[in-house]
Amino acid sequence: MVLIHNATHATCVQLTLIEEFALHSGDRRLSIPHAAERVLTYLALLNRPVSRGRLAGALWPECADHCAAQRLRTALWRLRRIQDAVVEINGDRLRLHPDVVVDLAYLTELAQKLVHQPCSEDLARVPLLLDRAALLADWDEEWVVVDRERYRLAWVAALEAAAEALLERRQVGAALMAASAVAAAEPLRESSRRILMRIHLAQGNKIDALREYRRYRDLLWAEFDTEPSPEFDELLLRVQKCDAPAVESLRNR
């Protein structure tokens, strides 16, 4: 769990949606039924009040209206017994209580800051993103898919931007970790591979740069029967200036 709120840890209620679902009250992880997990997740992703009918229909589309409404009432009742004041109810409309801190909102905001002129404080928080690549990776609900893709794109853009910024600041170790995380999650994404090659060159590790080129070239050929872009080959030429025999050997393989 990442503490992402300015309230005291003892009183903070946090909802985790990245990688796995979790609800914490202070240091205590709460165990709640899956139906209640789905209610909280839908409200967190929607991030605005919603009518009972729409919420019930979205969560239990296979049920008749009265059956879906009953399931929603049961889920809310069970949730209140475990942790009060998580869902705010105003007549027929519900929303996630404003005091509940959601990691998705925090990490998305951090990603946006990293993409748009990150400051040193933002870059220092990059490790919070490294192993948080997917929104509810094991859930198959259709209403999660759009938000999962939106977060994935933000995550990728943020770590690539962070790697670029860290490389400019000569923090090559941190830059390597950020770019490597993207390459591991998105192995066919060329932009992250180009950043990795530049980082290896900045560290003076020309052999690692050559290996990175070869790994990506071979993967691209195996998957799509195509070659890397001219921009990628230009990085290979930079290595050639340092070690022409090694580059020539690589090209002839």
Q: Which ranges of the chain would DSSP assign to H, the alpha helix?
A: 34-46, 52-59, 65-82, 103-115, 120-124, 127-130, 142-168, 172-185, 190-202, 206-224, 230-242, 244-251
Nearest to 216 by CA among 199, 231, 185, 194: 194
Answer whether 0.85 is exceeded by the pTM: yes
The SS3 of residue 10 is coil
Torsion of CA 60, 61, 66, 72, to 10 degrees: 20
Domains identified in the chain and CATH numbers: 32-99 (1.10.10), 187-253 (no CATH)
Q: Please, are residues 177 and 133 in contact by the beta-carbon 8 Å criterion?
A: no
Under 8 Å between Cβ of 163 and 179? yes
pLDDT tens-place string over residues 132-172: 999 999 999 999 999 999 999 999 999 999 999 999 999 99
Write out the chain's pLDDT in tens, 253 residues. 554 544 445 568 999 999 999 999 999 999 999 999 999 999 999 999 999 999 999 999 999 999 999 999 999 999 999 988 899 999 999 999 999 999 999 999 999 999 998 999 999 999 999 999 999 999 999 999 999 999 999 999 999 999 999 999 999 999 999 999 999 999 999 999 999 999 999 999 999 999 999 999 999 999 999 999 999 988 888 887 765 555 555 455 5
